[in-house]
Amino acid sequence: MTQDNSSQDKAAGQNGGGDLFNTAAGWVLFAAGLGLGLSILSGKYFHGDDPQRPEKLGYVIEGAVEEGVAPAEMSMAEALNTMPAADLIAAGEKAFAKCQTCHTVDAGGANGIGPNLAGVMGGPVAAKAGFAYSADLKALGGNWDWDRMNDWLKSPKGFVAGTKMSFNGLGKVEDRAAIAMYLNSKGANLPVPTFVADAAAGAAPAEGEAAAPAADAAEAPAAEPAAATE
């Protein structure tokens, strides 16, 4: 009896060993398959051995100017002329939501964290009564015009290092133009610089020049070109 038992046990043991071996072999196969699969897959994504890398990295266009490579941002003058004034003002009013936490814009509005902005376009810098401006903004002097407002709204701290206007700036010239146009509708009403599309293809138009056809200049309250200061 005991012998029978033991031989049965032995058989069972062998059997079990066989299963174990099969299982292990199965895993090895599986792992190998997985490895192969992964290497095929990764080959699909990373063409390590394909000769796709160009011999020369980068390219040189002889005689090309830097601007030709990436399209340069449009000028303020162009941005101010991309749509009818009324549409631009409407867009500016919307975009002004970003400024409203700190600024009122209607005539007689209160100063908040920032000064009231009525008549700021064309008006003197840092001149609102009852607002404590930073020394740096006060030191800027002169008047707000299109170019200065463009630079200011692009990066207040870049334009006036010590300003206390905590605002990162507006990255898109379209937004800056719209807001400047909106501000301009709330006060001084500077003439919008004219923009001749053809000139953009060739030499960049000097905004100051474009803004001053003789007839306009007579009517317009001194829109001094930005070149005057700085």
Site residues for ligand HEC per CB under 6 A:
98-99, 101-103, 113-115, 117, 120, 125-128, 133-134, 137, 153, 163-167, 170, 179
Shortest distance in whole angstroms from residue 209 CB to ligand HEC: 25
Crossing angle for the helix pair 85-95 and 173-185, nearest 10 degrees?
100
Q: Smaller CB distance to ligand HEC: residue 75 or 150?
A: 150
Residue 165 or 173 with smaller CB distance to ligand HEC: 165
**Cα atoms in the Cβ-side hemisphere of radius 13 Å centred on 190:** 29
Of 123 and 225, CB closest to ligand HEC: 123
Shortest CB 159 distance to ligand HEC, Å: 10
Q: How far is the CB of 171 from ligand HEC (least distance, A)?
A: 11
Minimum CB distance to ligand HEC, residue 175 (Å): 8
In the complex with ligand HEC, the residue whose CB is nearer, 68 or 162, is 162
Amino acid letter, residue 167: F
Question: Could you give the CA distance from residue 65 to residue 202 in angstroms, rounded to a whole number?
Answer: 12
